[in-house]
């Protein structure tokens, strides 16, 4: 599992710090190797709107230098030397230019240099040893994209929003292109208004009304199928539908099955009301959905609802991970604890034994947050980070099992 050293130069993402891009392209699997315990993981709050980051010597640069040097003081001389070198490389990088986003994540080691620009803030944080992917996993969890379909009688829009912990981070707008019956990004087509009602021309009132209704229902049906296609293509896993109740519920019923499964709620929006006015209400539905999902995971753990049951607590969870039984690993975002790992055979224990019981090699001390993602990856398990404290009474961690 050792790193092959192929990544010698910086592998920078585009400065355009979009979450969807990050989540698609953040290929971090090679960082999950337990074969190397010499990685410096640095998370920096680079938010350019903060005054301390606007000084000639921004606060994050001072913090980075100081914290990496502090980290080195507790280590042996060869590791101290290595960290000194890494500290210099980091400092040189931070002098080059100001990172584009609000947060910067760096992974550095011999033959390894990765950086991720985040459009959301992260807390300053430094770790050495096994790579620390915890904050990235949290970003992935907390900023899950939601598709929001707003539909009226004669027009529809789709937004993809990334919900932050308390705020909307970014959204991207898609307009219905009626010539193709597809949602497209960019400007709305100028003929969107031309979706108008059939002309009345003296038609008998009831007939006219029913023709209008037919027309509107046809429109909603096409909106529903276009929205289904769009969320599929955009990789959006959750959908909220808003509009006047009649429109919203009709479109929900007309959604293709795959899109209906993604539906997490509807929002009642008066006719003509547009996105800025309804955003807060939509976000509340999304937040409620996140809370519900987290509580569902906790309940499934407590009720033993994995195919092979479930375990709770650090000891039992580590045991299941080492046996490769884990289907879903769940942990509080603020879980805390230490583990000791063998870099040779990947044995792990919660007791600071001096030697590996399996192969006799020395063990490396690490925090839970460094160990859990790597072990979960070996289990091919899904990792779910929960809101702080949800599993605290169970030691902050648990797992749904594939088999007993």
> Applying CB under 5 A, which residues contact Zn ion?
342, 344-345, 347, 356, 358-359, 361
CA angle 252, 256, 261 (to 5 degrees): 70
Q: Judge whether 83 and 38 are in contact, CB under 8 Å.
A: no
Minimum CB separation of residue 45 from Zn ion in Å reads: 37
Residue 53, CA distances (Å) to 56, 57, 112 in order: 8, 8, 27
Q: Judge whether 46 and 98 are in contact, CB under 8 Å.
A: yes
Minimum CB separation of residue 345 from Zn ion in Å reads: 3
**Residue 390 is encoded by which pair of tokens?**
């949800």
Which CB sits closer to Zn ion, 13 or 34?
Answer: 34
Give Dmax over CA atoms of the chain in angstroms: 93
Minimum CB separation of residue 341 from Zn ion in Å reads: 9
Minimum CB separation of residue 380 from Zn ion in Å reads: 22
Which CB sits closer to Zn ion, 270 or 362?
Answer: 362
CB atoms within 10 A of CB 398: 29
Minimum CB separation of residue 168 from Zn ion in Å reads: 47
Which CB sits closer to Zn ion, 185 or 358?
Answer: 358
Which CB sits closer to Zn ion, 2 or 9?
Answer: 2
Which CB sits closer to Zn ion, 171 or 319?
Answer: 319
Work out the angle between the directed axes of helices 368-378 and 134-142 (0-180°, nearest 10).
70
Which CB sits closer to Zn ion, 69 or 359?
Answer: 359
Local structure of 123: helix, strand or coil: coil
Looking only at the bridges linking them, the beta strands covering 238-243 and 263-268 are parallel
Minimum CB separation of residue 357 from Zn ion in Å reads: 8
Count Cβ neighbours within 10 Å for each residue of 188-217 and write b for 16 or more, e otherwise: eeeebeeeeeeeeeeeeeeebeeeeeebbe
Minimum CB separation of residue 127 from Zn ion in Å reads: 22
Minimum CB separation of residue 350 from Zn ion in Å reads: 16
Which CB sits closer to Zn ion, 62 or 361?
Answer: 361
Strand-by-strand arrangement of the 363-367 sheet = 348-349, 338-342, 363-367
Q: Judge whether 349 and 364 are in contact, CB under 8 Å.
A: no
Minimum CB separation of residue 344 from Zn ion in Å reads: 4
Q: Give the count of alpha carbons within 13 A of 366, CB side only.
A: 33
Residue with tokens 């160990």: 371
Which CB sits closer to Zn ion, 347 or 368?
Answer: 347
Which CB sits closer to Zn ion, 42 or 356?
Answer: 356
Q: Judge whether 142 and 169 are in contact, CB under 8 Å.
A: no
């Amino acid at each position: 599992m050792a790193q092959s050293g192929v990544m010698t130069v910086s592998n920078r993402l585009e400065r355009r710090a979009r979450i969807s891009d990050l989540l698609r392209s953040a290929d971090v699997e090679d960082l999950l190797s337990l074969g190397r315990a010499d990685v410096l993981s640095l998370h920096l709050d680079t938010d350019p709107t903060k005054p301390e980051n606007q000084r000639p010597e921004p606060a994050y640069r001072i913090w980075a230098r100081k914290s990496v040097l502090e980290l080195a003081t507790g280590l042996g001389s060869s590791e101290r030397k290595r960290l000194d070198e890494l500290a210099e490389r980091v400092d040189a990088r931070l002098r080059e230019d100001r990172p584009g986003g609000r947060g910067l994540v760096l992974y550095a080691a011999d033959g390894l240099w990765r950086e991720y620009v985040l459009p959301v803030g992260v807390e300053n944080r430094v770790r050495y040893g096994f790579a620390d992917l915890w904050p990235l996993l949290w970003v992935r969890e907390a900023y899950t994209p939601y598709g929001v379909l707003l539909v009226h009688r004669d027009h529809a829009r789709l937004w993809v929003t990334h919900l932050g912990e308390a705020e909307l981070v970014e959204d991207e707008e898609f307009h219905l292109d009626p010539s193709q019956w597809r949602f497209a990004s960019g400007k709305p087509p100028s003929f969107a208004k031309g979706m108008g009602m059939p002309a009345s021309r003296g038609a008998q009132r009831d007939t006219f009304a029913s023709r209008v209704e037919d027309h509107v229902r046809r429109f909603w049906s096409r909106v529903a199928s276009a929205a289904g296609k769009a969320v599929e293509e955009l990789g959006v896993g959750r959908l909220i539908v808003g509009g006047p109740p009649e429109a919203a519920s009709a479109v929900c019923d007309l959604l293709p099955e795959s899109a209906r499964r993604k539906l997490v709620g509807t929002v009642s929006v008066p006719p003509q009301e547009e996105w800025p006015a309804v955003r807060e209400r939509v976000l509340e539905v999304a937040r409620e959905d996140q809370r519900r999902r987290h509580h569902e995971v906790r309940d499934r753990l407590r009720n033993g609802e994995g195919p092979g049951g479930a375990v709770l607590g650090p000891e039992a969870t580590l045991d299941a991970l080492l046996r490769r039984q884990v289907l879903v690993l769940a942990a509080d975002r603020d879980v805390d604890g230490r583990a000791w790992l063998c870099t040779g055979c990947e044995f792990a224990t919660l007791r600071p034994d001096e030697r590996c019981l399996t192969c006799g090699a020395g063990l490396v001390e690490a925090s839970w947050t460094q160990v859990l993602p790597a072990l979960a990856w070996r289990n091919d398990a899904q990792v779910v980070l929960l809101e702080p404290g949800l599993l605290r009474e169970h030691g902050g961690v648990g797992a749904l099992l594939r088999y007993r």
